[in-house]
Amino acid sequence: MAIDKAMVADIARLARMRVPEEQQEALVGELNNILGWVEQLSELDTKGVEPMTSVVEVRLPLRPDAVSDGDCRDKVLANAPEPARGFFSVPKVVE
């Protein structure tokens, strides 16, 4: 897929970017080079290659998945302008 000047203008419009006319020709070459690299990558045989989230093997620390109330109600309610009976108090919005 080759990119031309009209497509660069369309991409800029979709991205809501103002690209001056004199810079569009340079972007044509750059975007075509990027697409060339992507096409080269698609030629690689990746069968049997595990997907990676990092270049190094890292295991994320896990914690038990337990439901709790956080045990910090008083600290949270300290931020409320007018707590009432252990809850946030808000003004009535529907009559």
Total domain count for the chain? 1
* 50 Cα distance to chain centroid: 23
The answer to whether residue 88 is domain-embedded is no
Domain carrying residue 26 = 5-42
Helix axes 5-14, 21-42, angle to 10 degrees: 90
Reading the block at residue 34, the tokens are 């990027």
**15 Ramachandran zone, left/alpha/beta (phi>0; psi -120 to 50):** alpha
The CATH number of the domain where 22 resides is what? 1.10.20
Determine contact, residues 62/37, Cβ cutoff 8 Å. Answer: no
The whole-angstrom separation of Cα 4 and Cα 27 is: 9
The answer to whether residue 85 is domain-embedded is no
pLDDT in tens, 29-60: 999 999 999 999 889 998 998 888 888 888 88
Whether the predicted model's global pTM rises above the 0.75 cut = no
pLDDT for 53 equals: 81
The answer to whether residue 95 is domain-embedded is no
The answer to whether residue 14 is domain-embedded is yes
Q: Give mean pLDDT, residues 70-81.
A: 88
The answer to whether residue 80 is domain-embedded is no
